[in-house]
Structures are given as C-alpha cells and as structure tokens.
C-alpha cells in the first residue's frame, strides 16, 4: 500500500473512533455509536481497495463488509423478534420467513 493511502486509511479509522466516541458521549446510545464506528471502519477498508486489486485486499474488504452487516443485523434483531424467539425474528429480518402482521 502506498504511504498516502495507508495514512488516509489510518486517518479515517481515527476519525471513526473519535466520531463514535462523540456520538456515545452526546447521545448515550451505544448502538448508534457502534454503527458510526462500523461505517467508518468500512470506509477505511474501502480506501485500502484504491490500490491495484489483489485477492487478499478484496477478501479483506469483503470480510469487513460481512462483519459490519452481521453486527448491524444483530443490533436490529431485537426489533424484529418475538419475546423469547430470537431465531424467528432473525429469519424474518433476513427474509427467510414471511413477516407477521402487527396487531394494534
């Protein structure tokens, strides 16, 4: 990786840590702070793809995106699950089961 891209990726990562800390300090919402951090880490991973492609670089970026997607899915699963049924909510969230009608 060229020194410029390396420094840019490091700067994006540092900005993500600072931004997540500021989000946590102002909102006290750890899920929102984690989402900010994951988005910035994703951005840093994408900066690393600016170099000529290689299997290792592409696999690393795909792994970062997969971890981010799974973490966000795990954070959101509480909204979609039934009490005591985490697996049903997860399957509905990733659209493997049909949604249930909401009763008022």
Distance from C-alpha of 52 to C-alpha of 57, rounded to nearest angstrom: 9
Quick: pLDDT tens for 34-75: 888 888 988 988 888 888 878 888 888 888 888 888 887 776
How many residues are there in the chain?
104
Residues with Cβ within 8 Å of residue 38, at least 6 apart in sequence? 67, 68, 71, 72
pLDDT at 11: 95
pTM of the predicted model, to two decimals? 0.63
Instruction: Kindly tell me if the per-residue pLDDT of 79 is higher than 60.
Output: no
């Amino acid at each position: 990786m060229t020194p410029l891209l390396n420094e840019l990726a490091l700067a994006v990562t540092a900005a993500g840590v600072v931004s997540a800390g500021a989000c946590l300090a102002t909102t006290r919402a750890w899920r929102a702070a984690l989402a900010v951090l994951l988005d910035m880490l994703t951005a840093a991973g994408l900066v690393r793809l600016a170099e000529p492609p290689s299997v290792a670089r592409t696999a690393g970026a795909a792994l970062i995106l997969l971890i981010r997607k799974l973490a966000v899915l795990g954070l959101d699963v509480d909204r979609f699950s039934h009490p005591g049924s985490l697996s049903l909510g997860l399957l509905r969230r990733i659209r493997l089961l049909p949604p249930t009608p909401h009763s008022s």
